[in-house]
Structures are given as C-alpha cells and as structure tokens.
Structure 1
C-alpha cells in the first residue's frame, strides 16, 4: 500500500492549493508529533484545515479535529509567526518531494517548507531564507536544518516540466539503458510514470533509449504533465479483494482497509482496477486518511500511555503486564543469542587452534620488534586482523571459513593468553551470561503468572458488570470542573470554586456560548459550549464492555446553534450544581445571559471578588426547575466515567443509569456503592455527585445500594 506521496502527487497538490491563495491563517496546531495543522479562513468560503503529516502526505479537510489545550512549542511559534498571515504562493521546488508555501505578514514574508522525503520535516524560514525553526533538527552531508542557518534544499533533481525536446533528445542519445529506465532515472519520472509515458507514446518500455523518437516521447510526456496542470482530479485505487463500498456509515474504515493508493491521474497499470473518483487529490487523500488523521490527538495520548512506566497512563493491568512480558521475552532472546554467540566463538577458536596460535605468536613478535604503533599501522593491510588495541593488549581477528579464506566470524584475542585461555574466557563469558538469563527466566515466569491472574480478575470483573479500571497519568481537562453532556452531545462546564469560576469565564466562555448561573449566592458560573462537546466513538477500545456508551472529545460537534431545549437542560444542571441541592427544596431558578454581558469590571466604588462577576443587561429566566440528576456509566476517550446529566438523557443512553435527588445518603457512601457495583474509582465518582443523595430510580448503577435497601425491606 502506497502511503508516501511522490513528486508527481505533490505537483498536483501544489496546483490545487493555488486555488486557496489569499486565504488567511487563523491558527496553527499540532495534535500529534507527526502532524502540523494550519487552519485557514478564506474570504468567501468556509474555513478549512491544511493537514501536514510529516514525510507522508498533505491534505485539506473540514473534519472535526480535537486539539490539545496546550499547543507544543512549534505550534506556538507558527501562531506567532503566521498569525493572520496571508497565503500568497504555493510552489513545488523543481520536481522534488518538497513544497514551499509563502505567506505575507506584518513582519515580512515567511516561507513554510514541507519536505515529504525520508522522515520528512516542516521548516519555517524568514524573508531572507534563514531558518526560524525546523520541526526536527537534522544534519545531512551537505546541509543542516537548524535555527539561524540558511536553508539549503537537497541537491536539485531534473525537472521534467522544464525539459524541452532538444534536452530530452540529448538525454536519450547519451543513455546506455532502455527507454523506461532512462525516463525513470535520468528524467526523474520514476518507474510508473516512465512506463506510462512509454505506453502513451506507443513504444515498448524495454527498447534502447537511443532508438526512441525524442519528439514522440516528448509529446507523450507533455501530455501527461499538461493534463495534470490543466485538470483537477483525484482517484482512490482499491485493492483487488475490496468488496463493494458501504452505502451508509463505515466509509472511513472501509477506505483505510481497502484503498491501495491515491493518484491524480489514472495510469495504464490502473486498468482493470476499481477506482473511486474525487474532485481533486486533496479530497481523495482526506477521504482515505482523514478519519485517521482527525484522531491524531487521541492517538498521541494512547502512544504516551504505551510509553509510560508500569502503572501509569490509560492502561489496564492486563495491558501493562502484556507490555512487560513482551519486553522480558525480547530481553531473554537477546540473552540466549549472546550465550550462543560466545559459545560458538569459543568452539571456533579451538577448532582453528593452529591459525589462532600463529596470529598470536606473529603479533607478539611484531609488538616486540616494532612496538604497538607499528602494529596498529601494519594491521590495516592484513585481511586476518581487523584492529589492534594497545591499551588492552588485544587484537580483533577474523577466523577462516571452510575454504580457508577470511570468514564472517570475528573474535577478540588477548596477546597475554594462550589459545586455550582465550577459548576458556569466551566459554566463561557465555556461562555468566547464561546465569544472568536464569534470573530473567524467573522474572518472565512471574510476569506470566501475574498476567494470568490479571486476566482472570478482568474476566471476573466483566462478568460481574464491572468495567476495567483504566490507570491514567492525568485527568481529561473538563474533569477539573463540573461538567455534563447534553442529549445532542453539547458540553457544559461549571466552576467548583472561586478559582474555577474565574477559569470558566476567562478560558471557556466564547462568543457564541451561553452563561448560566443559579439565582443563589455562591452558585457556580457555567458555560454552555456552542462548538465543543462529545461525538460518538466509532472505534472504542476493546477493553470497554459491550453496550457501554462511548464518546470522544470534539472541538466541533454537529449540533447547530444552542436551542431553548439545550438551555433548559443546562439550567437544570446549573441548579443542581448549586447549594440548592442540599437545601431540602425540590425546585429552583436559573438565569442565562450572553458572554458579552458577563464582566469582571465593577462600577466606581464597587469590588468584585474572586469567582464573582458583574452581569449587565436583560436575563433569560428558567423557573420552577426540577432538582434531579441522571447518572450514567459512559466512556470518554476510552476512559470509563460517571456522567451527571438530566434524567431523560441518562435514560436515553441505555446501559447502566440511575436518577437521584437530594437526600440523606452521604456522598462517600453512595460513591463507594457505585464503585463496588461498576468498578469505577471513588475519586472519579465523588466529583459528579452534588451532595447527599436519594436514589429515585436505579438501573444496575446502584446495584449494591439497591440490594441493601431490599434486604432492609425484607427484614422489616
């Protein structure tokens, strides 16, 4: 499967990106170490993302793309240098896998170099072609990618687009290879395009280049390149065993599994293959890889987990032990290989006793006669000796093969030891390595035992309805606040204290959001998000139990504008988060305003304390609200969590849910019972419960609490 882009693909990409000249850079992101995203805001079109996957591909996309709350340093630098910059030029450098994007900014022109060869790189240059910052520092034979250095592209290759018929004729006349090889190598077309040109010219690919008619070949070459420049198209070529594409849902997964390559032009070797047409290469690549690339943030988090130390990250005990077992098995294989190598060398020294004894004797004589300096110089011309070490008084020599010639086995010999002593030293090293490996075998067996025990425990938990507890190094950002999910996936967050209230308004209340506050002193400031929320997770982790509602964080949910129904749901949660919950009442009042009406600026002589705000203007009131909360067991970004939402929404999610109201059961008691029934951590449950509770309705969420109530009822 073709994953990296060719120079031919990039030529099409460069032409297509020129349609976006004049677009403004809104922001820059790095959801993954390998991915740079520039969000463009065209004047007369919808915003789009330019997605750069280092060394692999470039595409444009309008998909929802969750981004990290704290951008990495390179993304911050791009924001500083390219903020509100205007794209004024896109060009492919020669016919290389390298694109140059030029922007105009207040500080002068900036160039973004996208290198799509090797490991790839993204390099930001100033107007004088000096490197401001590369994504990855690198040093090559003829150039260095480092801050402050002048940017030098790789040595230029021949650009077939700049070739005329006379130049092509000269190349063909001077070639001693066949036509396809000459076009592929010397004309820089590569094998597939070279064969396509031969086919278009009506010539056999294996004829001598010198007998080919240059004008005919040039006409075919121009036809291929001109068609690329004048037309705009993209095609996904499917694998031979690909079934029919799904008509509803699952298209991303289908394309990821069955697409073989993306191409701007159908070539002769594509005949008979099933292809899917697209308006351009940018759209084709997004259709193929867009789903994968849009999950970059989640993938980065999972990669951090896999690299974490045991007991850290989003990791179950089974996964942690499986990783440890794999590492120990690999280490044990290395131990065994070292033992076998040392033993084999010891036997080889004994087998070639005469040869080794002669090397030792001759080297000793040479050292006495010429000194070590003379020996070090002399061994360079001796095929049987690789090197000499005066400090250790050793030589690195080559043992003979079956024909008596220098073979592949090399061994270090000590001049102060006999052949027998050298062989015994190798056997001793092998024995010590074997003793060391015995400890590794014991550790391996211990890990296997722990893994079997963990698997049984996990299976028992799943059979009892408990979710596998996921160990993680840090919480999701919204867990630091009160949070809820509305039926359409919209998110609302509220402050837990004065500091949290300030953070909600300053960081999470934007232009199209709504501010909610219970009509009580000290109630949390709440921000209903217009864009951020939760989307259904189409690829939940395998360790989640079947039927558990799974979601992932999304920066742009498809929920439209905030509706009155959303506000009613949010108002009910804002009331339940306030101290009205423990007051003993059953109803309350909440108001909402737009973000512009919320201010920290007080009138002269007034003081606004921490967590408090001045609300000016007309308010929308929600009265006689019901003080009940629905609880549901869900998974967010693969982490099982307890969701607090409205009773109707909790019930609609299915699975395990409950409805609670204010009561006499302490939070700690309720949290312990939920933890025992579901397997969740008490620390993850307590922040969701607003205070003392009473269970109104339970569907396998408070199983332990329910059984206890039934027992009390039976006893009475």
Structure 2
C-alpha cells in the first residue's frame, strides 16, 4: 500500500525537494547566460580599446568643465551614449558592431581605465561561473536526497506505515486532550489549568456535557453533542490498507447522548487523570450540564485559573475501566493517532492497540508506536495517558 503526503495541511518533503531542484535548474540557466555575457563584454572592451579610452577621457573632461547636469542633457543627442549616473559616476554606452553601428550596451566607470572596466566584466563572469558550479553541486545533493526519500517511502509503504511529515500548524483539537467516544463524538480535556478554562469557556456549549474524574487535579472535560469525526468522502489517494480517512464535523444530527457514549466519555475523563498514574484498574467520575459549572464560589469570590465550581446534582459513574484504545488514522488529511473508547476507535481503525496502566514509560511506548506506524512521535506522546503504560492487546499495529 502507498504512503501518504498531504500538501494541503503540512510540508511535503518530496515536493519541497522537487521545487528545490526546479529552482536550482532555473538558476543555472540564468548563471550560464550571465557567465557568457560578462566575459564577452570584457573582450569587446579590449577590442575597442582606443575608442573607449577616448570616450572615457572626453566625457570626464566635459563633466569637469561643465558639470554633470549640462553634460547629461548634451549626451542625449549622442548615439554612442545612453545615459550618465552622477551617483555611481558611470555611463551606459554602446560598442560598435561589425558595421560600426552602436550595438552592445555596456556600463563604464568614468574614474577607471579601459583595462579596469574590462576586468570588472571578467571578474563578474568568474563569479557567475562559480555560482553555476555551486548550483550544479547542490542539484547533485538534492537529487541524492530525493532518491533517499523515495527509498524511505517505498520501505514505509511495504510496512504499511504512514508518511507523516513536519507541519507548522495543528488542528484545533490538538491544543487539548481529545478522544472519540460513542458514535464518533469528541470529548475534549484540558492539558493544564489554562486548558481547563479554555475547554469550559470556549468549547462547552449548552447542549454538551461536563465531565470530571473524582480525583483532585483531574482535567475539566467537554463531551460535544454536535462535533466529532466522520468518514472523509474525499480521502487522499494511497492510504495504507486499514487506515481510515476521517474529517472533523460540527453537524452531528444527534439530539442526545446515549448511555454508552456517556459512560465512554467518563472513562476518558479518568484515563486523563492522576488515577492512571496510581495504577488503579477502575475509577469514578461524574457529569453535569453546562449551567451547573461556574467560576464563582459560594462566597462570591472568583476562582483561580483552571478551577470550577459544580452546583446541583452530580451524575456519578463508578467502576470505570482504566484503559483506552489507540489506532492510526488520517484526520483532515493529517496522519494522527486516533484514541478513545475501544468500540469508537475500532469501528474505523483495523490496526489498533488497547492500552492500560503499566510499567513502560510513555516516551518509550510513543517511540515504539511511531516506528511501527510512521506517526510523528510527539503526536503519539500527546495522545497517551499521563503515566506509564502497557499494551493489553495489539491488533496488527505494532506487529508484536
């Protein structure tokens, strides 16, 4: 199966190298043209030593006698001189062709000799030649990179890996913890105190639900009713087998959450809490409606960053399973780990792992998953729970 490169959302190394090749080739054409042009001017100046020496001396004498302004006006009627430049102390003049008529235009420095003017063109020609040599060497190096890139791509294709590349922008959901539950609904969680405030203030709408694990410091979470993931009707060509093409949507027609969706959202809220690091097999969480969440304490004082007051009845869910599933997908054209409830992830992803609290450092696990899938290691690390992990089941993701 072929790998994936998506120029719509992030830099494509292959395309970048091809563009670099085209730029270098155009530069060589320009360098070669200038390289031939400059030495020829120098030769022509030498061939017309006498007339040019006379032109230089007469023009300079006239300027000294009458001034630049007067002479600039007078040279307009002289067919051998195009213009004078007082700032640069140069003039643009014409060399004769085989019939003795004005033809090749050159720039002459009035304070330099004929030889010095000719040497300027010879030196410029050598510089252009050096640039051409440098560009040709750069083309050879770029070509070698293209060949190497294609070999890596072919190797990744054979292993069913995604070809994820560096990108400058993130999807908006990546600014937070995010997962899929139920029929594809998004649940968002704060990564820190600032993130907790953003999740509630910016993303928790009236039709959504607020979740929180029954543990101090757990993230505020928003289960979105109208937002989630759906199959992309226009998938990129060449996706590895078993890797779904998905896209974000804000138009779910769901009117209310199912009990199954609510339970899975609660499970994600405990997965993202310190309960994971403690190694517990189960935990407790609650959900409330958005109007029950406030930034104002009973005393009327405003709470600090990341803190929220929940008033009224809390809907508790107990004995929640401490595990999550991770698959590989392409979301809005970007290769990403897809995490969430087991059923929600596996309805799209054929390759996945079930993850629970364990003894393997999450950094080591992220590295292992990245190597097996082609996903960017930092993206995998951001998707994993906050603590050590273990693989409960591997369904052809790691091929272990």
Question: What TM-score range do you get, normalising by the shorter chain?
Answer: 0.7 to 0.9
**How many residues were matched structurally?**
393
Question: 1:414 deviation in Å?
Answer: 3.4
Tell me the equivalent position of 1:613: 308
Following the alignment from structure 1 to structure 2, what is the Cα–Cα distance between the partners of residues 487 and 356? 87
User: 1:148-167 alignment to 2 at 5 Å?
Assistant: none
Tell me the equivalent position of 1:396: 92
User: 1:344-355 alignment to 2 at 5 Å?
Assistant: 344-349=40-45
Structure of higher RCO (CA pairs closer than 8 Å, 6+ residues apart): 2
Contact 2:80 2:94 in 1 (8 A): yes
Cα gap change, 1:543/1:335 in structure 2, threshold over 3 Å: closer, same or farther?
farther
Contact 1:490 1:557 in 2 (8 A): no
Contact 1:468 1:544 in 2 (8 A): no
| 1:597 has 2:292 as partner | yes
User: 1:405-554 alignment to 2 at 5 Å?
Assistant: 406-407=102-103, 409-415=104-110, 422-486=117-181, 488-539=183-234, 545=240, 547-554=242-249
Tell me the equivalent position of 1:677: 372
Cα gap change, 1:400/1:639 in structure 2, threshold over 3 Å: closer, same or farther?
same
| 1:326 has 2:54 as partner | no
Cα gap change, 1:563/1:487 in structure 2, threshold over 3 Å: closer, same or farther?
closer
Cα gap change, 1:632/1:358 in structure 2, threshold over 3 Å: closer, same or farther?
same
Cα gap change, 1:544/1:406 in structure 2, threshold over 3 Å: closer, same or farther?
farther
- Higher mean C-alpha displacement, 463-472 vs 598-607: 598-607
Question: 1:504 deviation in Å?
Answer: 1.5
Following the alignment from structure 2 to structure 1, what is the Cα–Cα distance between the partners of residues 295 and 235? 42
Residue aligned with 1:612, SS: coil
Tell me the equivalent position of 2:343: 648
Following the alignment from structure 1 to structure 2, what is the Cα–Cα distance between the partners of residues 319 and 633? 24
Residue aligned with 1:468, SS: coil
Q: Deviations over 1:386-414 (max 9, x none)?
A: 2113454431023456776655x421123
Cα gap change, 1:365/1:662 in structure 2, threshold over 3 Å: closer, same or farther?
closer
Following the alignment from structure 1 to structure 2, what is the Cα–Cα distance between the partners of residues 392 and 563? 78
Tell me the equivalent position of 2:68: 372
- Higher mean C-alpha displacement, 445-454 vs 643-652: 445-454
Contact 1:490 1:559 in 2 (8 A): no
User: 1:180-195 alignment to 2 at 5 Å?
Assistant: none
Q: Deviations over 1:636-688 (max 9, x none)?
A: 34332212111112221134212223334332332232122123343322232
Tell me the equivalent position of 1:146: none
- Higher mean C-alpha displacement, 518-527 vs 352-361: 352-361
Gaps of 5+ in 2: 1-5
Question: 1:418 deviation in Å?
Answer: 5.9
Gaps of 5+ in 1: 1-297, 303-313, 707-716
Residue aligned with 2:157, SS: helix
Contact 2:357 2:389 in 1 (8 A): yes
TM-score in terms of structure 1 length: 0.49
Alpha-carbon RMSD:
3.4
Residue aligned with 1:387, SS: strand
Tell me the equivalent position of 1:340: 36
| 1:563 has 2:257 as partner | yes
Following the alignment from structure 2 to structure 1, what is the Cα–Cα distance between the partners of residues 140 and 65? 56
Contact 2:160 2:241 in 1 (8 A): no
Tell me the equivalent position of 1:315: 11
Question: 1:527 deviation in Å?
Answer: 0.6
Following the alignment from structure 2 to structure 1, what is the Cα–Cα distance between the partners of residues 65 and 303? 93
Contact 1:386 1:398 in 2 (8 A): yes
Cα gap change, 1:402/1:558 in structure 2, threshold over 3 Å: closer, same or farther?
farther
Q: Deviations over 1:596-643 (max 9, x none)?
A: 111121213988554332222334444444333111111234332212
Question: 1:449 deviation in Å?
Answer: 2.0
Question: 1:358 deviation in Å?
Answer: 6.3
Question: 1:585 deviation in Å?
Answer: 4.7
Contact 1:536 1:552 in 2 (8 A): yes
Contact 1:535 1:557 in 2 (8 A): no
Following the alignment from structure 1 to structure 2, what is the Cα–Cα distance between the partners of residues 541 and 559? 26
Following the alignment from structure 2 to structure 1, what is the Cα–Cα distance between the partners of residues 238 and 15? 10
Tell me the equivalent position of 1:274: none
Contact 2:193 2:306 in 1 (8 A): yes
Following the alignment from structure 1 to structure 2, what is the Cα–Cα distance between the partners of residues 674 and 641? 12
User: 1:222-237 alignment to 2 at 5 Å?
Assistant: none
Residue aligned with 1:581, SS: coil
Tell me the equivalent position of 1:636: 331
Following the alignment from structure 1 to structure 2, what is the Cα–Cα distance between the partners of residues 606 and 429? 75
Contact 1:470 1:639 in 2 (8 A): no
Question: 1:512 deviation in Å?
Answer: 2.2
Contact 2:184 2:344 in 1 (8 A): no
Following the alignment from structure 1 to structure 2, what is the Cα–Cα distance between the partners of residues 532 and 464? 33
- Higher mean C-alpha displacement, 636-645 vs 532-541: 532-541
Question: 1:498 deviation in Å?
Answer: 3.3
TM-score in terms of structure 2 length: 0.83
Q: Deviations over 1:173-218 (max 9, x none)?
A: xxxxxxxxxxxxxxxxxxxxxxxxxxxxxxxxxxxxxxxxxxxxxx
Following the alignment from structure 1 to structure 2, what is the Cα–Cα distance between the partners of residues 332 and 533? 51
Contact 2:189 2:221 in 1 (8 A): yes
Cα gap change, 1:352/1:474 in structure 2, threshold over 3 Å: closer, same or farther?
same
Question: 1:463 deviation in Å?
Answer: 2.2
Following the alignment from structure 1 to structure 2, what is the Cα–Cα distance between the partners of residues 591 and 416? 88
Cα gap change, 1:661/1:412 in structure 2, threshold over 3 Å: closer, same or farther?
same
Cα gap change, 1:668/1:436 in structure 2, threshold over 3 Å: closer, same or farther?
closer
Cα gap change, 1:369/1:661 in structure 2, threshold over 3 Å: closer, same or farther?
closer
